[in-house]
Amino acid sequence: MNEMQLRIPAKSENELFARNTVAAFALPLNPSLSELSDIKTAVSEAVTNCIVHGYAGQEGWIEITCKIDGECLHIQISDSGKGISDIEQALTPFYTTLPGEERSGMGFTIMQTFMSTFTVQSRAGEGTVVTMSKDFGAKAEANAQ
């Protein structure tokens, strides 16, 4: 079992750092290129949400914790921003609260599709916590069948 914590300011320049750091942490699991790409994309989506929606351009901190447990990578990404008032609506593919900004509304759908498990908890005014995990090795193969 290994763990790591990362605390970064909610700035878009940190997206690349965050996704590459989590991908580097996952390397002992011997991920394929495609699995690495899935992790990077899911992390990038969650971190972008913190910056664009959680803090909406204001200053704030994003906390990322990762854990490797057996052949599973657990990732938790949280902010203390404005939160999501209607999670069900936010999870709808193509739904976006910022339609004028060329947002695709696919962030949560991508996280759900690319990871083995995904949950989001949020309270308006308090922040959002995204928890996701990805299986590797024999377990990932069993899931695929």
Q: How far apart are CA 24 and CA 20, in angstroms?
A: 6
> Which of 104, 117, 119, 143 touches other proteins (CB under 8 A)?
104
> Which of 6, 21, 41, 97 touches other proteins (CB under 8 A)?
41
Q: How far apart are CA 53 and CA 103, in angstroms?
A: 11
Q: Which is nearer to other proteins, 3 or 27 (CB)?
A: 27
The answer to whether 75 and 22 have CB atoms below 8 angstroms apart is yes
Q: Which is nearer to other proteins, 17 or 85 (CB)?
A: 17
Q: If binding is defined by CB under 8 A, does position 121 make contact with other proteins?
A: no
* # of chain residues touching other proteins (CB under 8 A): 27
Q: Which is nearer to other proteins, 61 or 67 (CB)?
A: 61
The closest alpha carbon to 75, from 6, 17, 133, belongs to 133
Q: How far apart are CA 47 and CA 1, in angstroms?
A: 24
Question: What one-letter code names the amino acid at 86?
Answer: D
Structure tokens at 116: 């083995």
Q: Which residues bind other proteins (CB under 8 A)?
A: 12-13, 15-16, 19, 33-34, 37-38, 40-41, 44-45, 48, 51-52, 101-107, 109-110, 113-114
The catalytic residues are: 45, 49, 103
